[in-house]
Copies of this chain bind each other. A is one copy, B any other.
Amino acid sequence: MPSILNFSDISQSDWNALVDRAVAHYRRGKQWTDVAKGKSIGLVFMNSSLRTRTSMELAAAQLGAHVTTLVSGEGVWGFEWTKGAVMDGDTAEHITEAVGVLSRYYDALGIRAFASKTDYEADKSDAKVRMFADIATVPVINLESAWYHPCQALADAAAIRATFETRKTNKFVLSWAYHPRALPMAVPNSALLMAAHEGFDVTVASPETHTLDPDLVAQARNIAASNGGSVTESSDLHAAADGAVVVYAKAWGGRAQYDDPAREQAQREANRNWRITEDVMRNTADGKFMHCLPVRRNVIVDDAVIDGPSAIHLLQAEMRLHGQKALLEKMWGV
């Protein structure tokens, strides 16, 4: 099995099998085996993590594999990512050597490298994570890149399949929400593609200043169509929520931040009240509230919603463990 960097690396049938396998692991409960004994994985985090780190460590450990977590800047040399760089500045080690060495130690690698938020095309092409995977001589798992978070999407789909016996409607709303900072688009991109793979009729609700990348939306539309679903966009959250079975909330920065961060901030601040409230949820068809976490309470979502019965964010987080067990099993063929 090759690296898992994004959804193009996974066919629809592999996707279905992985999600079902994740749900099966969840239904079986915490299970410790030795099927991957003698395997090891090295996780490289360029950014903070709680769920991804702990769930990946446990996923590997529960399969009997060894895992090491490295956090950039915390006892590890700073990495240089520019090809051909004359390294007379702050960075001490080129990613070429770092990944070259780790490839010789571990049987798989994971990499988390968030968006630059300064170079849109580099972020859209997932330049860093692709570079990492190109250098590696072992399979690489994307632990959230500039553009994608496939492990989160896998867990989200598993949480949805485990939650709904039957759906009242097929409507899935991916809603933007206000956040004091302009966050990356990896999670909304992946949530949209996930919902498309799951065959939902997806509505992406956001201010017009904060729509997702048109190519990404077009890609999702194609995937949705081939699974009996659809993708539409809306700038009216309340109307979008009408009749939905899922409201998936996520903050992200507008594309304007790449050439005019001040304008993006003004556009974002103008939508400070775009927040998932009980009012929004009442509009749904007994819809579930989803979020990838970490979530800013009373900014992204009101306490009344996230502490209420519609919220399945903790199930999503729990599914990270089970989804990644499924991924590692497939990657290592165990």
Q: How far is the CB of A268 from chain B (nearest CB, A)?
A: 12
A104 beta carbon closer than 8 Å to chain B? yes
Contact partner, A50, options B30, B101, B321, Cβ 8 Å: B101
Could you say which of A72-80, A145-153, A163-171, A259-267 contacts chain B? A72-80
User: Which residues of chain B are within 8 angstroms of A88 by Cβ–Cβ distance?
Assistant: 180, 296, 299
Q: Check if B68 sits within 8 Å of A49, measured CB to CB.
A: no
A94 beta carbon closer than 8 Å to chain B? yes
Known: A101-B51, A105-B321, A293-B101. A86 touches B299 (CB 8 A): yes
Q: Check if B313 sits within 8 Å of A97, measured CB to CB.
A: yes
Q: How far is the CB of A92 from chain B (nearest CB, A)?
A: 5
Task: Give Cα A58 to B68, complex, Å.
Answer: 9
Task: Give A15-59 as 1s and 0s: 1 = Cβ < 8 Å from B's Cβ atoms.
Answer: 000000000000000101000011010100100111101110110
A295 beta carbon closer than 8 Å to chain B? yes
A10 beta carbon closer than 8 Å to chain B? no
- The number of times this chain is found in the oligomer is 3
A32 closest partner in B (C-beta): B38
Task: Give Cα A180 to B202, complex, Å.
Answer: 54
A224 beta carbon closer than 8 Å to chain B? no
Count of A interface residues, CB-CB < 8 Å = 61
Q: Check if B58 sits within 8 Å of A298, measured CB to CB.
A: no
Q: How far is the CB of A252 from chain B (nearest CB, A)?
A: 15
User: Which residues of chain B are within 8 angstroms of A93 by Cβ–Cβ distance?
Assistant: 50, 293-295
Task: Give Cα A32 to B48, complex, Å.
Answer: 31
Q: Check if B61 sits within 8 Å of A317, measured CB to CB.
A: no
User: Which residues of chain B are within 8 angstroms of A69 by Cβ–Cβ distance?
Assistant: 75
Task: Give Cα A107 to B61, complex, Å.
Answer: 14
Task: Give A87-123 as 1s and 0s: 1 = Cβ < 8 Å from B's Cβ atoms.
Answer: 1110011101110111011110000000000000000
Contact partner, A75, options B42, B49, B51, B100, Cβ 8 Å: B49
A84 beta carbon closer than 8 Å to chain B? yes
Q: Check if A75 sits within 8 Å of B75, measured CB to CB.
A: no
Contact partner, A105, options B55, B74, B96, Cβ 8 Å: B55
Other A-B contacts than A50-B70, A86-B298, A104-B318, 15 sampled, CB-CB below 8 A, are: A30-B40, A30-B107, A32-B38, A40-B58, A50-B93, A58-B105, A58-B106, A84-B298, A87-B296, A88-B296, A93-B294, A93-B295, A96-B297, A97-B295, A98-B294
Q: Check if A92 sits within 8 Å of B38, measured CB to CB.
A: no
Q: Check if A294 sits within 8 Å of B77, measured CB to CB.
A: yes
User: Which residues of chain B are within 8 angstroms of A101 by Cβ–Cβ distance?
Assistant: 50-51, 54, 293, 314, 317-318
A303 beta carbon closer than 8 Å to chain B? yes
User: Which residues of chain B are within 8 angstroms of A32 by Cβ–Cβ distance?
Assistant: 37-38
Q: Check if A75 sits within 8 Å of B53, measured CB to CB.
A: yes
User: Which residues of chain B are within 8 angstroms of A51 by Cβ–Cβ distance?
Assistant: 101
Task: Give Cα A224 to B2, complex, Å.
Answer: 48
Contact partner, A76, options B50, B76, B92, B96, Cβ 8 Å: B50
